[in-house]
Copies of this chain bind each other. A is one copy, B any other.
Amino acid sequence: MKHKTDMHKNITHIDVNKKTTVDDLMHQMETTGFGAKKMADVTKILESAIKDKETKVFMGVAGALVPAGMRKILRDMINDGWVDVVVTTGANLTHDIIEAMGHHHLTGNENADDKELRDQKIDRIYDVFLKNEAYEDLETYLHKIYKDLPKKRMGVREFLYEIGKRIEDKNSILRTAADKNIPIFCPGISDSAMGFHAWSYILDNKLDVDVFEDMKELLAITWDSKNSSVFILGGGVPKDFILQAMQFSPKEHSSAVQITMDRPEHGGLSGAELKEAISWGKLGKNATHATLIADVTIALPLITASLKSRGL
């Protein structure tokens, strides 16, 4: 019976004072319960995965994390070599570019009157605002980049790499990934403003992006890695894509964590338990895994601050 050894640790009651560091707290949470314990578990699994040179870390990023102020953390994880592969949504990349252009997301209010916001040309993302003019500038900015791209057939990964190389802002996720040669996959890119402006570009120009090409690269990475670890923020297409990479492979992911507010009961993949992936052969039978039910904007800063204290 698995829980036998576990049982012998007493729950210790968290004790905070004015000098408590984030990592102190995270360590204290290791012998608690519920969300606190899960956050400590996620941190430990991630620490092992990142520290192990033979483990490739696949990070999935869904949800509007860039608008909510998580851009620097994501960018640093790439810059510091914590992650080997990024899979994300077109929206996060679009908002990364919007910030790279010099526009800012703004602190707003989720109870604002959306009709008044429309009149003021402000777009709302829960309690974050963005001036609609950002999208107008985006078209010009992207078309200029698209014009400069190599005239050849590319997968989405390569397309994003070429865009990243052309972004000046060193805090950009796309730019940093290009600099560090970390692949960014975005299977749903056509579902984004970036994708829209690619379409508006090809009305008069040529751009040859292949929808199935990336699969080859992703599979090559998984097949070449000794171990692989999954780090899911949110869920959605990025979670599915990272797990699916192992479905048609003799290999399987060796550890996995996710931070999400989605739940399993209604059957969507976003909220599916990680252990479900064991049945599919996507996750190893003996893989360590933990799911934290939390808002990523709270958990991710804490976890990354802890990991930095642990020498990463």
Residues on A facing B (Cβ under 8 Å) = 1-3, 6-22, 25, 28-29, 31-39, 62-64, 67-73, 76, 91, 104-110, 112-118, 120, 122-129, 132, 135, 156, 171, 187-193, 195-196, 198-200, 202-203, 207, 209-216, 234, 236-237, 240-241, 244, 247-248, 261-270, 272, 275-281, 285, 293-299, 301-302, 304-305, 308-309
Contact = CB atoms under 8 A, between A and B. Distances in A.
Given A11-B67, A34-B127, 14 more contacts: A7-B106, A9-B106, A14-B69, A16-B73, A16-B308, A25-B305, A36-B295, A91-B269, A188-B237, A195-B211, A195-B212, A262-B262, A265-B295, A298-B302
25 contacts: A1-B113, A3-B117, A7-B108, A11-B67, A16-B76, A16-B304, A29-B297, A33-B107, A34-B267, A35-B296, A62-B268, A68-B267, A114-B275, A118-B278, A124-B276, A124-B280, A125-B267, A127-B267, A187-B188, A187-B195, A195-B215, A196-B247, A210-B211, A236-B237, A267-B297
A139 to B, nearest CB: 9
Contacts of A212: 190, 195, 198-199, 202, 207, 209
Contacts of A18: 305, 308-309
A164 B24 CA distance: 31
Contacts of A263: 261, 263, 293
Contacts of A276: 114, 124-126
Residue of A16, A110, A192 most packed against chain B (CB within 10 A): A16
A156 B187 CA distance: 13
Residue of A117, A118, A296 most packed against chain B (CB within 10 A): A118
